[in-house]
Every structure is written in C-alpha cells, then in structure tokens.
Structure 1
Amino acid sequence: MASGSKKVIIAALIGNSLISVTKFIAASVTGSSAMLSEGIHSLVDTGNQILLLLGLKKAKKPADDNFPFGHGKEVYFWSFVVAIMIFAVGAGISIYEGIHSLMDPHEIENPMINYIVLGLAMIFEGFAWYFAWKEFKGSKGERGYYEAVRKEKDPTTFVVLFEDSAAMFGLIVAFAGVWLSQLTGLLIFDGIASIIIGVILGATAAWLAHETKGLLIGESADREIVEGINDLAAGKNVIDVVKEVLTLHMGPQYILVTMSVDFKSGMDSDSVEMETAFLSKAIKDKYPRVKRVFIEAEASDLEGK
C-alpha cells in the first residue's frame, strides 16, 4: 500500500506543478481572480504532495533509542500539516483575493485563455483524481466509502483523493465565475468564485484535519483485528480469561498489541513463557501488520486489589 500511495502522490505532484504554472500565466494575462485562486490552489497542492512524500520517507527510518517503535507516525504528522497548509494558505489567500476583487473589480481580458486553461486543467486533474480514486477503491475492500475513510490507517491516499476532488470542484467554480462575468458583464462573479474556492478548500482542510487527528493521537486497530486477536487468545486451552486487548497504530503498517490474560492455575513460568511466545507468533502470522505483542499474565483473583 505504501508503494501505491507513493505513486498516487507522485502522479498528483507532477500534474499539479504543471497546472499551477499554467494557471498563474493565465491569471497574469487575463487578470482573473478566480484563476489566480486556482493557481494558488494548485501550488499549495504541489507543496502538499512534497510534504506527503517527505512523510513517507521519514516513516521508513528504523527504530532507535529515542523512538523504540519506529517513525511510522511521521506519515500522520505530515498529513495533518497538509490539512493546515490547505486551510491557512490555500483557503486564506483565495478568500482574501476574492474579497479584494469584490472591492476593486477588474475586467477579465482574453477570457478564452481562461477557458482553455481550465479545460486542460480539468482533463489533467481528472486523470490524477481517477488514479487516486482507483488506489483508494482498492484499499477500501468491501467497506463503504465513508467507512473506508474513517477506518483507513494510511491517510496519504485519501488526502490526495480529497485534494483532487476539491481541485475538480474548484475548477468548475472558476469556470462558472469567468463565464458568468463574461455573460452578464458583472465582474463580481469572478470574485465570488474565488471566495467559493476558498470555502471549498477550507471545508476540505477541516475534514482532513479531523480524520488525521485521531491517527496522530493514536487510534486502535480495526475492530475486526481486535476481536480476532481476542479470539486467538481465548481459543488457547491454557488461558482461562482474556482480560483486555489493547492495540495502537504506530504507523499505517505497524500495530502494537498489549494484552492481559489469566493463565490456568498450576502452570510454571517456563510453560507460561512458551505459551506466550506461541500466542505472539500466531497473532503476527494472522495479522502481518502486528509487529510487537506484549502479553501480561494477570490472575483474575487480583482484580480490584
């Protein structure tokens, strides 16, 4: 999945960098605020993809004394930074430019250039969006789209998908703003389009921040995995009671498991060690993303003492 995510990010990076240059040139020629906002949008997206690639690279760093469980959460941190970038830079500047355009409107020159650039951008963004959607669809399995976003532990794929979706909506709004300004002669539509683009970016950023916050703080593994681990332990004849199973995602492909169990009475320490090793291996074999398992032997009659 990490390899697929990287391909999606690189595809979006190439597309957005080329599109942003084209949009800025068109904005300078035509004087369109909506086109300028779209250029800023694509430039921010380009920077965001660089940050996501940085996160993937840093997440591969091996564990050390200061980070004994590795650096997998770098992906979550940089995904959260991307959400902040979209909100602070993309949304903020777009709304500011739209308000400035409403207060001091300028006639759009050579609007046909805007139409051509926006049309080409829709094609390029459409390819990038399809690539991201295809990768996300493959990772979601049988889950619904909303559920898949809520439970996805690799945020890079849905971050790019959300960015590309916002970009497509922004292009449609920019096209409508330029067209209505030309059709009616009312220059305010161009500024309104810029503000709407900013609102779209702000809403996208808020949603991404909400989804990545839980991962950054520390989410558990999917309920199916937790229940499966519990069943594996409960199925051991040497275990009387599985008291607790706790999981934590240290990265998209790294799950930490801690559990407390009550072994049957009369077992010596060597037997407990052996059964603990067997259970740990069984959990890792069934769930490859589980990298570390800590099992605490705790007697039931000590509860509450």
Structure 2
Amino acid sequence: MKQVAFGTTGTLLPSIVLGCMRMNSADDPVKVLQTAVNNGITFFDHADIYGQGECEKIFAKSLAKTSIKREDLFIQSKCGIVPGEMYDFSKEHIIEAVNGSLKRLRTDYLDSLLLHRPDALMDPEEVAAAFDELKAQGKVRHFGVSNHSPLQVKLLQNVVEQPLEANQLQFGLMHSGMVDEGLNVNRGKEQISQRDEGVLDFSRLENMTVQAWSPYQASLVKEVFIANKRFPELNQKLDELAEKYQTTPTGLASAWILRHPANMQVIAGTMNTQRIEEIAQASEIQLSRKDWYQLYLAAGNHLP
C-alpha cells in the first residue's frame, strides 16, 4: 500500500481511505472492515450525518467483532451539516457533534476531524475555541476541512491555532476541474472557470492533504463512469490500460488520481470486498506521464 504524508504531521498514512458513508448498506460490514485492513487500508472516513449516525455505530459494532486494535487505525469524522436545515460551525454544535461521534464509534478520540461543507455564517473565533477545547481534552488529534476554497481555508488558518491538515474535495477522471483550471491559465472565460480558486496548488503550498471523494463519479450525470455505456471512449481506454498495468478499470481510475504529485488520498466508498482489494492493490501503480494524459483526454478533456 502506497503511503502519503498526512498534512504537516509527518505521519505516513495509506493512500487509500475507506469511506464509510454506505456502511449501513453493507451485507457483511465485519468482512468489509477486515478486508480493508488485510489490504493495508487502515484509514476510515466517517461523518456524523452518514446514515444519520448509524454508519458510525455499525463500524464500532463490526470492529468489536474483529481482533483489530483501535490504535492501529486512523479514524476520521466530519461535522457541520444539519441535513435539510443549515450548516453549523458554532462552537456548541462542533463539540456536540464530536461527542456524538465518539459515543457512536466507541472511542475516546478521533484521529482527525474535518469541517464538512462551508458554513456561510462561520465565525472563525468560534471554530478556534471548539478546536482548542477538543484538542486540550484529547478528543481530536488533528483537524481539517472538506469542500473549502483557499480563501475559506485562509480565513480559518488566520485564527485557528492547529494546522488544517486536509481538505476533502471531489476529484477524479470525470470531475477534474482542479486540474483543468491549472492547464487553462490565461485562457478566455469560455475555456475555463476559476471557481476552484487554485485549490490544488494552494493545498500543495500549504502541505494540506487532498482527499478525493466520489473518485469514480461522472460530474454531470451523478453516476459511476466505469463500465458505463454513456462514456465509451473513456472505458475503452480504461480497459486497454488496465490490461497493460495488470489491474482493473477501477484500480486504474484510482491510480490516475494517485499519480498526481500532490500526494492525494483516494476515498473509496465501496462496500464490495472485491473492489476494495482491487483499489488497494492498484495503489502502488505508477502511471506513465503519457498514459495519465491519455486517460485525461479520453474523459472528454482538451489540452489548450
């Protein structure tokens, strides 16, 4: 399993993360958990809203049925979304959310806590106060964000004492805006939107780990692009190169992300044990520069 440095911590962690959003739909969550660990995936990503908290409970219950030690895992959760109502980065909500996750996960601490989608009413001082309290109490070891722009990160970093180690962002072959933006500098507005504000290069400069979520999803149709008849050119290239690298299209789509020098992590949300193995085994594949660009072009992108 390829390892990547987690933010500024200097700690090396698996490049593949198991996303636990669908754990409440797993046929055998114990087997899922054991398969992940057996294949070097010891990093697990949660959120307080996944299954309305049920996914964290199932994870804890499943872990208790294995011989896996809590201290051998890196458990991350997210908070800040009140589904259908609002985003809430108030001190009270953050602390309450963390306490709820700790109870459901049956653990004394989170290795990492991310603020979920940005809160328009965020007060950085409140966030800082919450982080200080959680850190002092030993309930959270590291902090980060999810779906935040560079300016939103800077606004937090200006006040928050702890380093923001990660930013969880959607990225993959068919959601490559962060790369498109960099390739189309100084082009007309019709060629590129600057909506990502250079978040990929910013993350590299700040030593923030980019965690790629929904890596196999097509942006517009909101469905998996692998083996999807809507995308024949991309799948033809995936099949061709998967044979070359002795992997599967899913493994190759993962390797495409990990080939980027930003040292990203891939969040694989599958509960299929065979796919977990495929993705884990593909983590060490090093795509050639030419093959990386061939896949990028096959996904419908263009080079200026």
Provide the TM-score with structure 2 as the length reference: 0.22
Larger Rg: 1
Higher-helix-fraction structure: 1
Provide the TM-score with structure 1 as the length reference: 0.21
Higher-strand-fraction structure: 2
